Amino acid sequence: MQKQDNILTDTLGRKHNYLRISLTEKCNLRCTYCMPSEGVQLTPRQHLMNADEVYKIAKVFVANGVDKIRLTGGEPLVRKDFKEILKRLETLKTTLSITTNGILVDRFIDDFKTYGLKNINLSLDTLSKEKFHHITRRNQFDKAYNNMHLLIENGFKVKLNIVLIKGFNDNEIVNFIKLTKDLPVVIRFIEFMPFDGNNWNKSKLVTQNEILEQTTNYFGANELIKLENEKNFTSRDYKISGHRGEFGIISSVSNPFCDGCNRIRLTANGKVKNCLFSNNETDILTAFRNQESIEELIAKAIYKKLPVRGGMNSFEQLNDPKQHSNNRSMITIGG
C-alpha cells in the first residue's frame, strides 16, 4: 500500500475531516425507507461502542484532522447515555451536530446548549399527520413538529430533512418552502436512496428539475435565487426572495457530490464505512479493545474508498438490486 501523508486523505486527495458517528441501531420510529418492515437484526449490546469507546475513538479521528462530528443513528437521542457522550465529545473542540427525528428533542434542549451543539438536522418528511403515521409507522407528528418550532425558538440552526418519494410527498414541496417565509430554517429535499429492504426503484425519485419547476410555477421564476454552494457541498441551495429561510436539494443518487466528499462514517458497532453506498466496512472496535493501534485500519479504509457512489459509477447500475441489497439498511449505518 502506498503511504498516505495523512490517514484521512484518500487516493484522490479527498480529505475526510467530517466524522458521522452512529450511536445506536435502535429507533423510536420505523420509517419505511430506512427500516425494513421485518425490522433489522440488532447487534448484541456488548459489540456496540460504549460511551468511553465513542469518545476515545473519536479522539483518534480528531487527532488526525477531523474537525466536525455529527451524531446520528438509529435515533441518537434514545441512547440512555446520550448526555454523557455529548459532554465528553464537547471536550474535543470540534463542531458538533446531530441528526434526529425530533421526538425526544424537548428533553435535551438544555444539554445541547450546555455542550455547544448548535446545528440540528431534524427529519420530517411530511406536514400531514396521517402521512407521518404512514411513513414512520408511528403516530408522533405533533411531537416532531412542535419540537422543530421549539428548536428554532431557542436559536438553534435547524435544517429540515425531507426524503422525497414520488406519489407520497412530492405534492408538499411548495408547502415546505412556504415554511421558509417566516422561519429561519433550511429545508433540504433528499433523494430517496436504495438500501437493503426499502423497496427502492428509480421511478420513486423526484428530480431536481421537478422540484425547481414546482417552485417556480408557484413563486415565480424571478423570485428564485440560486445561492453559492458551500465548501464540500452536498446540497444545491436556493432561496425565495424575501424569505427568512432557504432550501436545498440533495441529489445523492442522480447527481452525486462524490468529488468533494469529506465524510467518513463510524457505525454503532465500531466499523468504518468509507461511503454511504459501499458495503465495504472496516472493524476498528475489535482492534481498539485489543489495545492495538486503529490508525492503520482507518488509513486502509480511507485508501479503499472508490471515486463515485461506492463503485456504482453509472446511474444505470443502481437499477440492479444486487448492487445495493448487500448494503446495510440506513437505520444501521447512520445517515
Interacting residue ranges for ligand SF4, rule: CB under 6 A: 27, 29-31, 34-35, 73-75, 101, 123, 330-331
Beta carbons of 276 and 334 less than 8 angstroms apart? no
Question: How many chain residues are in contact with ligand SAM, going by CB under 6 A?
Answer: 20
Q: Which partner in ligand SF4, ligand SAM, none is near 198 (CB below 5 to 8 A by kind)?
A: ligand SAM
**Selection from 74, 119, 68, 64 nearest residue 89 by Cα:** 68
Nearest CB to ligand SAM, comparing residues 9 and 101: 101
Q: Which partner in ligand SF4, ligand SAM, none is near 161 (CB below 5 to 8 A by kind)?
A: ligand SAM
List of residues 6+ apart from 70 with CB closer than 8 A: 18, 19, 20, 21, 96, 97, 98, 99, 121
Say how far apart CA 160 and CA 86 lie, in whole Å.
Answer: 22
Residue 86: count of CB within 10 angstroms of its CB: 23
Nearest CB to ligand SAM, comparing residues 42 and 224: 42
Secondary structure of residue 215 in the 3-state scheme:
helix
Residue with cell 438509529: 74
Scanning 62-70, 192-200, 235-243, 265-273 for contacts with ligand SAM by CB under 6 A, the matching segment is: 192-200
**Selection from 65, 56, 80, 79 nearest residue 6 by Cα:** 65
Nearest CB to ligand SAM, comparing residues 33 and 141: 33
Q: Does 25 bind ligand SAM (CB under 6 A)?
A: no
Minimum distance, C-beta of residue 193 to ligand SF4, in the bound complex (Å): 11
Q: Which partner in ligand SAM, ligand SF4, none is near 7 (CB below 5 to 8 A by kind)?
A: none
Minimum distance, C-beta of residue 154 to ligand SAM, in the bound complex (Å): 18
Q: Does 18 bind ligand SAM (CB under 6 A)?
A: no
List of residues 6+ apart from 327 with CB closer than 8 A: 194, 195, 196, 277, 278, 279, 310, 333
Q: Which three cell numbers stand for residue 102?
A: 425530533
| Member of 112, 168, 195, 247 binding ligand SAM (CB under 6 A) | 195
Contact letters for ligand SAM, residues 46-85 (x by CB under 6 A)? --------------------------xx-x----------
Nearest CB to ligand SAM, comparing residues 6 and 326: 326
Asked whether the CA dihedral 164, 317, 332, 119 is positive or negative, the reply is: negative
Q: Which partner in ligand SF4, ligand SAM, none is near 165 (CB below 5 to 8 A by kind)?
A: none
Q: Does 198 bind ligand SAM (CB under 6 A)?
A: yes
Minimum distance, C-beta of residue 123 to ligand SAM, in the bound complex (Å): 3
Beta bridge partners of 259: none
Secondary structure of residue 92 in the 3-state scheme:
coil
Secondary structure of residue 310 in the 3-state scheme:
helix
Residues forming the site for ligand SAM (CB under 6 A):
27, 33-34, 72-73, 75, 99-101, 123, 161, 163, 190, 192-193, 195, 198, 330-331, 335
